[in-house]
Amino acid sequence: MTYSSSVAVGRQRYAVRNHNSVSFKASAKALGPVSNTIILIVLACLLGLLYLSQVTKTNAYGYQINNLQQQQASLENEHSSLQVASARLQSLDRVQSSAPAQKMVAVTPSGTVQ
């Protein structure tokens, strides 16, 4: 039974033959079990859809996080490489063999009698 047919049945109760009714009072009608079931299923589907969309969205952040972590690791590697390069440039062997050091001349030590 549909909603419209249920209203028609209610209206028929007051439609007596040759009696023109100008008004009638429809009785209060609750939703039937089928309607409730359908509504519940639709709601469950909507909730499921909402959950799936949120999970998918959250997981999509995983890729962003992964990309950022890779970027961070790459920058850290670069930082380490630069740190190593800096340390190598400061190493005593390199300083000793550098052009300015090569031009230096030994002087007689003043602190000891040679």
- Point out which residues bind another protein (CB under 8 A): 54-55, 58-59, 61-63, 65-66, 77, 80-81, 83-84, 87-88, 90-93, 109-114
The three-class DSSP label of residue 19 is: coil
Residues 110 and 27: their CA atoms lie apart, in Å, by 120
At closest approach, how far in Å is the CB of 98 from another protein?
A: 14
Residues 53 and 45: their CA atoms lie apart, in Å, by 12
- For another protein, the closer of residues 35 and 72 by Cβ is 72
- For another protein, the closer of residues 22 and 63 by Cβ is 63
Tell me the C-alpha to C-alpha distance, in Å, between residue 39 and each of 4, 5, 59: 18, 20, 30
- For another protein, the closer of residues 17 and 63 by Cβ is 63
At closest approach, how far in Å is the CB of 53 from another protein?
A: 11
Q: How many residues does the chain have?
A: 114
